Chains A and B, each alone.
Chain A
Amino acid sequence: MEQIQVLIVEDNQEQSEHLSQMLENHGFYIAGIATNFQEAVEMFHYKDFDIIIIDIFLNGRPEGISFAQFVDVHPVKHKPFIFLTSATSRDVFNRAKLTKPFAYLIKPYNELELIYAIENAIEKFYAQEDSFTAEEENAVISHEHLFIKKGKSLKKVRTNEIIFIEVEEKYCNILTEKEKFVILISLVKILELLDAAKFYRTHRNFIINILKIEEIIPKDNLVILEGNHKATLSGKYKDEIINQFRTLK
């Protein structure tokens, strides 16, 4: 699992330190701290990150809103962002709202509120609301990543690293090259959200990453995956999988 990378746009050093401390405490990685609009735009282009936290007022001007507008309309690198503000003034809020932020964080905030805001932003960004907050689930799935809520923290897993997923009622056992973990998500939803070009069902409750296949043994209804993991290949899905490969006969 990897850390979630956060880009912070905040002019007040004390506040940004406080914020990054809090984030690091909860296992987030600080991709960068910008203190004005210019810096923010630069970091936006050169840094790798998953989410941005933007203070509305930078050096006394609502530059945060301008930056949010810039992010909102960026054609390629579209990322979720959160507004951080102490102003609950109606005017500022109404202006901020026009940029369609994914969450607000009102100062003073506590750790829970911060994490919640990040979770909320990710849920909203990937249009999978109530994934973290409800009892039934704890993951948000994008094509590149799996965002998983672990305790009070949030982690991500590259979907490319997943070898197979075994569904067990409401749980999914996920095996990657390095680790094995459980997420709370239904089979239907996970199938719907995962990249259909990579992930295939081999069995009623088995999903494999097609790129991790090492060997298919049709006679035994068996697929040998990377790391010598075995997956059952049921007749229903067999042809579909085999058709993905050019087989030598």
Chain B
Amino acid sequence: MYLRLRFILTQLIIYIPVFLFSQEKLISHQLAVQIKNQTRQLSTNTDFQKATTFFLQEEWDSTLIYTGKVLNLHEETTKLSNYCHFYRGFSFFNKELYNNAEHELLKIPDDFDFHINVFSKLGSIALEKSNFEKALSYYKKVEILFNEPNLSIKVNSIKDNIGLCYFHLQKYTLAEPYLIESVQRYEEFKDTLELIGSYGNLANLYYEQYKDDAAIPYFLKAYELAKTTNNSKAKKKTSKNMAIVEENRKDYPKSIKYYKEHMQWKDSVNNQNKIYAVAQAEKKTAVEKKEKEVAVLKADNKVKIAQRNTYLYSAIILLVMFGVSLYLYREKVKRNKIIQQQKEDLDALNNTKDKLFSIVSHDLRSSVHAIKTSNKKLISKLETEKSTEVNNLLQNNSSIVNNAYTLLDNLLNWALLQTKQTHFEITTLGLHTIVEHVAYNYTAILADKEITFKNTVSKDENILADRESLKIILRNVLDNAIKFSNEGDAITIYTKNDDSEFCQLIVEDTGIGMDETTRLALLEDTSLLAKKQHENSIGTGLGMQLCKSMIKKNNGTFSIESELGKGTKIILSLPKK
């Protein structure tokens, strides 16, 4: 029995604070007026003004939203933020989010205009959280400030609460005077709702001390009084208290009646929770919206950064690609140049080769063939011992062989020149000696053809040239001069010193000469094999080409002066020493 009673009482106690606070939920008229006055000049911030308005209208959710906006989005002054925290503390309290409320209120410093309200609220919170000693300390602070002017709290409810605290701390003797005083005061002010609470408290005080006889009348008083009001919560509480009391007195039918009443009122109370849920959802959506916005902005930023990076990277890549392609292009151009050069070289070599082949196939073949037939004749003549004819044939053979040899020599030199394999060294040369040396080979043929030969080049005449190539040039020139001279003609080699840098070596003959077309054809750089104009002489133009190429290599020039029937002058200009 005892145990059971304790259990029920504990239940009771839990209900009592809720009961009590319903009395303080409303903002007192005094407080509202003071807040209005204080905030009017505080800020023009519309959100804050709205927050204030909603606060005074006791629209807790809206208050929370707007204060939240003020705190989050604006750089508010400390005073403004104090108000905001104050509003929020009240709002949370009234929405029964006590931890949040306490958190908000603790942010407010002691010099705040309504610090007394803050303490009282903190006290209420502590009470709600059943931390009675803490609550008591807050309320004591408030009690000290009772004599301040413009007191905007209900003194009664504070006293009431102090009493309650003592009660819960089981300091019943200390609690009793406070609770009795509070009952008396409420009776005096005819504040019905508060009176119901006070009666309840006092009843509980006695009931707790097992002073049932003193307690039950107060319970009844509270119940009766609640009946006269429209407050469903009060009715619910008082009926429940009565039900428990009757139950403990074992008067079960009465208890059931009270319980039924209690259940009836309880239903109406439940609706309030829904409202709170709605507000919470509203807040949630607002926060979500904000978060979404932030997320969108973040995403936007990300996209922008990504875009910028993309531009940057693509610019770098393009630049690199441009550089690479430029490099590759230049390499390609270079390679192309090399290839072009190689192609030209190959073409030239191929030309040389073709020329060599055509000469070998045609001229060399025909001269060897001539010897072959001539030799056959020679054998038959020897058999018949016709010595004069044998002699003539031998002479003929010798001349063919000589020509063929010259041709071969030129071919070889030409090939060596084209392939740049030959030794080439420019030195100082005595022109007279060179001419003598070259002409020496032709002594016999000159005598045979009865051509007068004169070398009037001075022994002091020195030029700069490569010895062997100069000899080849002279050999060819002299060869031609003899070839195109008839019996009794004259060949003269002499120098002319008109220029200070070049020595002109002239090979002059009084032979058959050539027409202008032939002359130009010979001088033409690209002239290929010239058609034979003179029957019994091997003329390929190769000798002339060779001369020109070699003269060029010796830094000299080559020119021809000729008149048909009168003779030819070959003029070689060579750098002097």
- A contacts, CB < 8 Å to B: 88-90, 92-94, 106, 110-113, 116, 133-135
Contacts and interface: CB of A to CB of B under 8 A. Distances in A.
A116 B429 CA distance: 12
Contacts of A88: 416, 422-423, 468
24 contacts: A88-B416, A88-B422, A88-B423, A88-B468, A89-B422, A89-B423, A90-B421, A90-B422, A90-B424, A93-B423, A94-B423, A110-B437, A110-B441, A111-B440, A112-B436, A112-B437, A112-B440, A113-B437, A116-B433, A116-B437, A133-B430, A133-B459, A134-B459, A135-B459
Contact of B460 (A94, A110, A116, A134): A134
A90 B417 CA distance: 11
A90 B440 contact: no
Among all A-B residue pairs, the 9 with the closest Cβ atoms: A93-B423, A112-B440, A135-B459, A112-B437, A110-B440, A113-B437, A90-B423, A88-B423, A88-B422
Interface in B424-474: 424-425, 430, 433, 436-437, 440-441, 459-460, 468
Nearest to B424: A90
Given A93-B423, A116-B437, 18 more contacts: A88-B416, A88-B422, A89-B421, A89-B422, A89-B423, A90-B422, A90-B423, A90-B424, A92-B423, A93-B425, A106-B468, A110-B440, A113-B437, A133-B430, A133-B459, A134-B459, A134-B460, A135-B459
Nearest to B439: A112
Contacts of B460: 134-135
Contacts of A92: 423
Interface of B: 416, 421-425, 430, 433, 436-437, 440-441, 459-460, 468
A154 B114 CA distance: 144
A90 B460 CA distance: 30
Contacts of B422: 88-90
A57 B459 CA distance: 34
A133 B431 CA distance: 11
A113 B435 CA distance: 11
Q: Which of A92, A112, A116, A135 has the most CB of B within 10 A?
A: A112
A89 B468 CA distance: 12
A134 B424 CA distance: 25
Given A88-B416, A88-B423, A133 B433 contact: yes
A113 B441 CA distance: 10
Nearest to A92: B423
Nearest to B405: A108
A88 B467 CA distance: 12
A59 to B, nearest CB: 22
Contacts of B430: 133-134
B419 to A, nearest CB: 10
Nearest to B459: A135
A238 B433 CA distance: 45
Contacts of A110: 437, 440-441
Contacts of A93: 423, 425
B493 to A, nearest CB: 15
A88 B468 CA distance: 9
A134 B425 CA distance: 22
Contacts of B440: 110-113
A74 to B, nearest CB: 26
A88 B423 CA distance: 6
A93 B460 CA distance: 28
A90 B425 CA distance: 10
Contacts of A89: 421-423
A111 B439 CA distance: 11
B297 to A, nearest CB: 81
B300 to A, nearest CB: 77
Contacts of B433: 116, 133
B124 to A, nearest CB: 117
A112 B432 CA distance: 12
Contacts of B424: 90
Contacts of B468: 88, 106
B90 to A, nearest CB: 112
B514 to A, nearest CB: 29
Nearest to B423: A93
A106 B460 CA distance: 24
B445 to A, nearest CB: 13
A110 B468 CA distance: 14
Contacts of B437: 110, 112-113, 116
A111 B438 CA distance: 11
B106 to A, nearest CB: 105
A227 B466 CA distance: 51
Contacts of A94: 423
A45 to B, nearest CB: 32
A116 B425 CA distance: 19
A88 B419 CA distance: 13
A96 to B, nearest CB: 9
